[in-house]
Amino acid sequence: MLTSKQRAFLRSLASNEDTILMVGKGGMSQQIIKQADDALTARELIKGKVLETAGVTPREIAEQLALEVSCEVVQVIGSKFVLYRRNPDEPKIELPKAKKSRR
Residue 33 lies in a domain: yes
Q: Any idea what the CATH number is for the domain that residue 66 is in?
A: 3.30.110.60
Q: Are the beta carbons of 5 and 96 closer than 8 angstroms?
A: yes
Quick one: pLDDT at residue 70? 95
Q: What is the mean pLDDT of residues 35-55?
A: 94
Q: How confident is the model at residue 103 (pLDDT cuts 50, 70, 90)?
A: low
What's the whole-number mean pLDDT along residues 44-53? Answer: 95
| Residue 93 within a domain | no
| Structural domain containing residue 37 | 4-84
Q: Residue 41: exposed, middle, or buried by beta-carbon count in 10 A (0-12, 13-18, 19+)? A: middle
* pLDDT of residue 58 exceeding 80: yes
Which pLDDT score, from 0 to 100, does residue 100 have? 66
Domain presence at residue 26: yes
As for how many domains the chain has, the answer is 1
Let me know if residue 29 belongs to a domain. yes
Q: Flag whether 25 is in a domain.
A: yes
